[in-house]
Each structure stands twice: as C-alpha cells, then as structure tokens.
Amino acid sequence: MATWDDVRRLALALPETDEGLSRDLSQWRVKDKGFVWERPLRPADYDALGDAAPEGPILGVRVADVGVKEALLASDPDVYFTTPHFDGYPAVLVRLDRIDAAELGELIVEAWLARAPKRLAQQYLDAGGE
C-alpha cells in the first residue's frame, strides 16, 4: 500500500519538481504545471458516487489523454476511479491505499512526462529515466 510519503519521494525525485499547497492540500508540479495532487472527495463527489464513494486517501493524477484515462479506469476499478468533475479531463483519481509503490512510481513518472516541457522530458528519458 502506498502512502503520501511514497508520493512525495517519487514525485520529488523527478527533475525540476516542487511541492506546494493549494487549499491546504499537497500538490506536485513540474515547471508550475501540476501532475499529481492530494484530492479528497467533495460533497458533489459523494452525491455522484453514492455508496461507491471510497474511503481513505485519494491522489489526483494527470494522464496523457482521455484514452489513457479510460484504459486505467478499465484496468483496475478497485484502484482507479473518476467523478463527473473530471469528465472529459485527462486525470484519474487513485485510491492511494490500494496501489503498490511500484505501480504508483510508474503512474507518477507518466504524469510528470505528460506535463513536463518536451525538452526536459526528453533529457530525462535520454538519461535512462522511466
């Protein structure tokens, strides 16, 4: 099971990443573009999800596009989910206590690659990243 410490460690290991707060919630950015963030459910989320609303820590993760989002949602609905707030938006929500650290690491790198400037992402890949 992954923790916020795992998220922090994995995100901050990526080049030019910083951690900040938005509404007292942690977020990680590359060159001022958010790629992962703490995302507790809101009242509208509970209304939309009903009894399926998960408990525990939830991580928001930017993905490359809506196709990737749909693939993740289909691959493991016990880990990945969404709410109407994210309809049409390339991001998924992750039940942090149901994802292992290795899968979380891959997800965070992919999110970082989706948001990093092309040159920085290419430098990372050329150096053997991912």
Q: Which residue has the tokens 């709410």?
A: 83
Nearby residues of 115 by Cβ (< 8 Å), 6 or more positions away: 29, 30, 31, 33, 34, 35, 62
Percent of the chain with pLDDT over 70: 99
Write out pLDDT tens, residues 104-127.
Answer: 999 999 999 999 999 999 999 999
Per-residue pLDDT band for 129 (boundaries 50, 70, 90) equals confident
Burial of residue 118, with CB atoms counted within 10 A of its CB: 0-12 exposed, 13-18 middle, 19 or more buried: exposed
Backbone angles phi, psi at 41, to 5 degrees: -70, 145
64: closest CA among 82, 89, 41? 89
Position 101 scores a pLDDT of 92
